[in-house]
Structure 1
Amino acid sequence: MADRILTTHVGSLPRDKAVTDLIFAHERDEPIDPGEFDRVVGAAVDACVARQVAVGIDLVSDGEMSKISYATYIKDRITGFAGDSARTPPADLEAFPGFLARQAAAGGTPTYRRPRCVAEIAPLTLQPLHDDVARLDHAVHLHAPHGAFMNAASPGVIALFQPNDFYPTQDAYLEALAEAMRPEYEAICAAGLILQLDSPDLGLGRHMMYKDRSDADYLGLIGQHVEVLNHALRNVPASQVRMHVCWGNYEGPHHCDVEMAVILPTLMRAKPQGLLFETSNPRHQHDWQAFTDMVTLIPEDRVLIPGVIDSTTNFVEHPKVVAQRIEQYVDIVGRERVIAGTDCGFSTFAGFGAIDPDIVYAKLAALADGATIASERIWARAA
């Protein structure tokens, strides 16, 4: 058991130009030297792990260096996807068309492909995952962090961004996705890494995928997302898995975000022991109250990983603010069940990021400094 509050983040970190160029060349189906790809991406993973350790992050990732995005990367690992999908803006941006147009004109909307499901879904290859694991394992041995995790897309978030044109029902689509992704989930755990399931569909889905449905309908729909995810995790221990939920990693009104109090009971039915969620986003700084009010619904082994730094602005949070946010959750579930995290990733899509790369690591350093302050105060109170 750690003698302090551990630190982590959601996963993606800024990619340099050499990595981004290779990723987009692959996206355009241009020939790429596999050895060159492995060398460039491997060096980037080593560098980002070293930098995470240097600023005080305990549970590190590979920064998702090899992936074009956290959801569409799967088209190279499972069958059934082709073409592209129309972009559907979230409901909050639709309510402010002038802001939406300004964001698009400023290049704030990624333009890579979001393929559709057009055929049967099945596992295709685990080789890209094995390559990711090998690169992260090498960096972990070099830089010796406290621990490491690897991201994988949940069935629900794949369905959110890549619509179904093949399966007769949405439930059948989700079930096929879950079974096709299961080997990836199991392989990450078998490698000794923490598996992080990225599941923004459970929050963001309310004002994107299901924006025309009632809250009651939405809860039923995401309840099915959780059921198929749990089934896909049937062969891995809950203690080795964590799940990230968010309302969209973009600057915007967010006034259509579903309340944490509405979805928290559903989230607590998910198998992963760890739950990462936003608390720095101004629309969600009050969500600690939902956890307080519903504390009896939180399983005794559940670990809360609140986002105590924001991922959409270049403000560097004061460590004292970070400490206060951490302590709010320690007061709810105890110090052994809180890890300090981030609201979302810092480079959710390759080549797109609202935050300057150097400021990303300054924010992560503030996260670590805040966790130190919180730990000193929390352990002093317990002495």
Structure 2
Amino acid sequence: MIRTSHVGSLPRGPELAPLLLARDKGEPYDADEFDRTVQAAVDEAVRRQVEAGVSIVSDGELGKVGYSTYVIERLSGFGGHTPRKPARDLAQVPELAKKLSHIMGSQEFTRASAIDKVALINLQPLHDDIRRFRAALDRHGAGAQAFMNSASPGLITAFQPNQYYPSHEAYLADLVAAMRPEYEAIVAAGFQLQLDCPDLAMSRHTGYQDLTDEEFLAVAEANVEALNAATAGIAPEQMRMHVCWGNYEGPHDFDIPLEKIIAVVLKARPATILFEAANPRHEHEWTVWKQADLAGKVLAPGLVDTCSNYLETPELIAQRIERFAAIVGKDRVVASTDCGFGTFAGYGKIDPAVAWKKLAALRAGADIADGRIA
């Protein structure tokens, strides 16, 4: 059976988002209430994923305010708030940017910078995430495989700018040591480790938009080297990585083409690669994967768009699967999503009910493709 999965984050409900944002801002909150609310949300998320036919499920990242900035509660050395540089494509269409903000909500989380030496100080939030996920799997996840997300070293540098270290490489070196215990703990718990790596694509037109392509690729190379060093003790088959160009409905006309970054992406150790393949800016790039050396890699293309509430038909999903199965065989294809359904608390365009329908459509499309591919 062709497996299905998704990128990780699922919509956080109105009960959970305020608690996550309060904790992120250092405001008072009831720790017991927080744990109960997150546990209930993870239970429901696992149940709904299994019900939708998802083969490889996650905890929805529901205990985190966001997929990247959560690290500031686990690592020392971060402080302040640095406003994000507008994405290069949205900067040219300011009225659209305002409309998107009204539709998707505002990104209210803290965007700290590295202002001192970065080191691991508190891994308890991870152990709490693992405990809640394991409990939900025991109750609702019979037969499902499981993965848990973690920020890659390069992603952290992209969202938490360097204001302390003498170089990007020096910053990465401390992040390797700081994040390695998180990565190893996730695998030790029996989950696949997913490294989130939009720094290898999206950052070209966001944080690194002032660099040349060549300069950006040098940064990306350093980021992959750091990821490989941090995961040196983990088998590639136990890891997945996600590469994307930004989970927002903008023009994306400054996205760096896949053909320019694929050589760097393929140097990363994780065996499974999740990437955008459904939205209008990147669906055509399946031909780039066709031309690449994919020895040992499993492709998890995004087959449904996470920026649109249009519901893809199972037949369309099956056709998209067939493209990639023709490249690597159906046993090395996982039907996935372009990005997450809830990358940050209180922020996102996809209606939760539509998210579950999209995941069910993935299963239906995978079943169609499975029946047609020898």
The answer to whether residue 76 in structure 2 is matched with residue 62 in structure 1 is: no
Residue 323 (structure 1) shift: 0.5
Instruction: Report the secondary structure of 2:108's partner residue.
Output: coil
Distance 1:43 1:35 in 2: 12
Report the TM-score when normalising by structure 1.
0.95
Give the partner amino acid of 2:309.
N
Q: Judge which range, 162-171 or 239-248, deviates more.
A: 162-171
Distance 2:95 2:33 in 1: 43
Q: What residue ranges of structure 1 are gaps of 5+ in the alignment?
A: none
Q: Within 5 Å, which residues of 2 pair with 1:179-194?
A: 179-194=177-192
Give the partner amino acid of 1:336.
D
Q: Judge which range, 105-114 or 357-366, deviates more.
A: 105-114
Q: What residue ranges of structure 2 are gaps of 5+ in the alignment?
A: none
Give the match for residue 289 of structure 1: 287
Give the partner amino acid of 2:125.
P
Give the partner amino acid of 2:249.
E
Give the match for residue 80 of structure 1: 77
Residue 212 (structure 1) shift: 2.0
Distance 1:260 1:355 in 2: 25
Distance 1:214 1:28 in 2: 35
Instruction: Report the secondary structure of 1:80's partner residue.
Output: strand
The answer to whether residue 228 in structure 2 is matched with residue 235 in structure 1 is: no
Distance 1:112 1:306 in 2: 29
Cα shift readout 1:53-97 (whole Å, capped 9, x = no counterpart): 001101000011110010000001111111101220111111222
Give the match for residue 294 of structure 2: 298
Distance 1:315 1:101 in 2: 22
Measured at CA, do residues 9 and 105 of structure 1 come closer, stay the same or move farther in structure 2, by a change above 3 Å?
Answer: closer
Give the match for residue 342 of structure 2: 347
Q: Is the 8 A contact 1:59 1:145 kept in 2?
A: no
Q: Could you say what the CA RMSD is over the residues aligned between the two structures, in angstroms?
A: 1.2
Give the partner amino acid of 1:352.
Y
Instruction: Report the secondary structure of 1:226's partner residue.
Output: helix
Residue 145 (structure 1) shift: 4.0
Give the partner amino acid of 1:275.
I
Give the match for residue 40 of structure 1: 37
Q: Is the 8 A contact 1:148 1:193 kept in 2?
A: yes
Q: Is the 8 A contact 2:103 2:349 kept in 1?
A: no
Give the match for residue 6 of structure 1: 3
Give the partner amino acid of 1:103.
L
Give the partner amino acid of 2:61.
E
Residue 107 (structure 1) shift: 5.7
Give the partner amino acid of 1:365.
A
Cα shift readout 1:243-293 (whole Å, capped 9, x = no counterpart): 000000000000111111111111110000110000011000111110112
Give the partner amino acid of 1:331.
A
Measured at CA, do residues 326 and 107 of structure 1 come closer, stay the same or move farther in structure 2, by a change above 3 Å?
Answer: closer
Distance 1:268 1:29 in 2: 39
Q: Is the 8 A contact 1:319 1:373 kept in 2?
A: yes
What's the % identity of the aligned pairs?
48
Instruction: Report the secondary structure of 2:147's partner residue.
Output: strand
Instruction: Report the secondary structure of 1:243's partner residue.
Output: strand
Instruction: Report the secondary structure of 1:118's partner residue.
Output: strand
Q: Within 5 Å, which residues of 2 pair with 1:91-240?
A: 91-104=88-101, 106=103, 108-143=105-140, 144-240=142-238
Q: Judge which range, 28-37 or 121-130, deviates more.
A: 28-37
Q: Is the 8 A contact 1:182 1:232 kept in 2?
A: yes
Q: Is the 8 A contact 2:106 2:346 kept in 1?
A: no
